Amino acid sequence: MQFKRVVITGLGTINPLGHSIEEYFANLINGVSGAGPITRFDSALFKTHFACEVKNYDASRFGFDRKEERKMDLFSQFALIATSQAVEDAAFDFSKERMERIGVIWGTGIGGIDTLFQETRGYVEAGGNPRFSPFLIPKMIPDIAPGLISMKYGFRGINFATVSACASSTHAMGDAFTYIRLGKADVIVTGGSEAGITMPSVGGFNSSQALSTRNDDFLRASRPFDRTRDGFVMGEGGSALIFEEYGHAVARGAKIYAEVAGFGMSADAYHMTASHPEGLGAILSMRMALDEAGIHPKDIDYLNVHGTSTPVGDPAELKAVMDLFGDFAYKLNISSTKSMTGHLLGAAGALEALACVCAMQRGTIPPTINFEHEDPEIDYKLNLTLNKAQERKVSVAMSNNFGFGGHNATIILKAI
């Protein structure tokens, strides 16, 4: 069969670097850190006292009245805000669209975890009196975000959520790409959102020694590829991309940001939380994406790596890159934008796909900030775009995301 082409025609985001695409792109290129003291709860008794929160968030500023706000977990609010921006950016005339051909595929790692925690804590503090909110279940389930998006706009096509830890929104984009390629939809709103800066999330990741505890130097705590890295920094927010069949986009005169060229996914089959030390799953995922796109490794200009700033994960991913790309790895620009945004867990992939679009649109590679000390396990002949953005024409970009459980996902975007 003849596969359809898929392009990106709308963008939206709310994240630790900004409340809009423009603000996000500007801070990304300028190497701004989104880290700050945790305000969402009292972290005094926790090992980590900082995170990359969405700054100055007020639900009413985004059109949510008090009643709506009480019915939605924060991760769903972020999803609706990002989608609203992307839909507006795409400039649809919905009176001319077949709404059954527009879908939503959304990624989140832990969904409404704060809703579950607050309701459970209320139950315990009430001495076991089972007076739960009727909104407990619909607020916490991961699939409520795409459901709410469909209800807001009347999208009646494909609709579901993907949950694969930190690979969730990359899997969501991969599914959206695949369904449009197969002709099952004209348009799919895709992306991801997360609101995981909560007591159980921070406490749980602290217990597994995954989070940085650099409390006295939080702006520089996320430091991928640096010898003194000690874990990732939690982030939050949402990002939306409009994936659209190429002919459909051209027919309605849509502006096109990039083409989605390929997608790959694999499993490490190795460990509950650690990446395979030889990067075997990452290699499979990247190779699958390259094969599907019909692109040679030498054609990649920019690789946005998973790069979480963990002692084990960073060298393993770079080893996979070198094993797959060979000498071409030294011609790539590589960066980890998590050094600025923190790690948005299930929403990371969508935010980092936007970083790839930023690199294409601005001819500038976002930096990996906070680098100071060389690690003997890392080859610094690789261009890791350390500390400062670099100008470069980007025709093809690749983005990796890996999740607990050994999930790997890779997406490739190219200029059009």
**In angstroms, how far is the first alpha carbon of the chain from the final one?**
23
pLDDT of residue 273: 83
Query: Could you give the percent of the chain with pLDDT greater than 70?
Result: 100
Indicate the average pLDDT of the chain.
Answer: 97
What SS3 state is found at 291?
Answer: helix
Assess whether pLDDT exceeds 80 at residue 1.
Answer: no
Reply yes or no on whether 356 is catalytic.
Answer: no
Cβ neighbors of 56 (< 8 A, separation 6 or more) are none
Assess whether pLDDT exceeds 80 at residue 111.
Answer: yes
* Number of helical H runs and strand E runs in the chain: 13, 14
Residues 131-153: tens digit of each pLDDT: 899 999 999 999 999 999 999 99
Q: Which of 166, 171, 248, 407 is catalytic?
A: 166
Indicate the angle between helix axes 280-293 and 313-325, nearest 10 degrees.
40
pLDDT of residue 278: 83
Q: Which of 343, 356, 358, 407 is catalytic?
A: 343
What SS3 state is found at 68?
Answer: helix
- Give 410's strand partners: 264, 400
Residues 213-255: tens digit of each pLDDT: 999 999 999 999 999 999 999 999 999 999 999 999 999 999 9
Residue position matching structure tokens 């921006």: 85
Q: Which of 306, 356, 358, 407 is catalytic?
A: 306
Tokens representing 237 are 């927010």
Query: Confidence band (pLDDT; 50, 70, 90) for 16?
Result: very high
